[in-house]
Amino acid sequence: MIDNNRIAAQFVSEWDGGFQLATFCTVDLATGRVAPESASEEESAQVDCLDREFVGFNGQAFAVRCDDDSTEYFLADLDQFNAHVNGLEQSAHPRFKLVSSEMDQEFHIVDAAGLFVAIAVTHAPHSKAKWANKKLSVKELWESVATVEERERYAAILATPGFSANDIRTLLTHSSN
């Protein structure tokens, strides 16, 4: 969760009979408003005919609607989405966290068992962190290379119930292009 009213998810647009573009989005749990990131220009140039758009969350697709005179997206069935989210919050779900690898001089996302999920990509190279300073915590090292926006985004993704390792990889792959 990003805060009490917003949750991180995937915004998926399906093109040309099945080609999918997935980006990070936030969903307002009170209003159903969906705020997706834009796909890269390179990805957008590869598509022609839009088939459908939906929010992907915990392996399920939730339809969105966009009024003809607006560019804002909303969940078509907010109650269904909220029921799904509330059910996940009450059940056990895998947790992910950000860790540092001093040997590789990289920041990784790992699952509850400590297994590698993905590299936490930042605009600044990870090598810019002060790895030699053993007094710095992982948080301080991370803050030295990640922008405020990147830190907030990763925090939202890691705190969202229901994301699988593949969901996280997909979001990070599409956002780093």
The confidence score (pLDDT) of residue 92 equals 45
* For residues 10-30, average pLDDT: 89
The contacts of residue 85 (CB under 8 Å, 6+ apart) are 7, 29, 57, 161, 162
Q: Which of 94-98, 114-118, 156-160 has the highest mean pLDDT?
A: 114-118
Structure confidence by residue, pLDDT tens digits, 134-145: 888 888 899 999
Res. 14: pLDDT tops 60 = yes
> Quick one: pLDDT at residue 43?
67
CA distance 23 to 36: 7
Q: Is the pTM higher than 0.85?
A: no
Place of tokens 């907030």: 152
By C-alpha distance, which of 35, 25, 34 is closest to 78?
A: 34
The overall average pLDDT reported for the chain is: 83
pLDDT band at 167, cuts 50/70/90?
confident
Across 4-25, average pLDDT? 87
HEC assignment per residue over the chain: CCCCCEEEEEEEEEECCCEEEEEEEEEECCCCEEEECCCCHHHHCCCCCEEEEEEEECCEEEEEEECCCCCCEEECCHHHHHHHHHHHHHCCCCCEEEEEECCCCEEEEEECCCCEEEECCCCCCHHHCCCCCCCCCHHHHHHHHCCHHHHHHHHHHHHCCCCCHHHHHHHHHHHCC
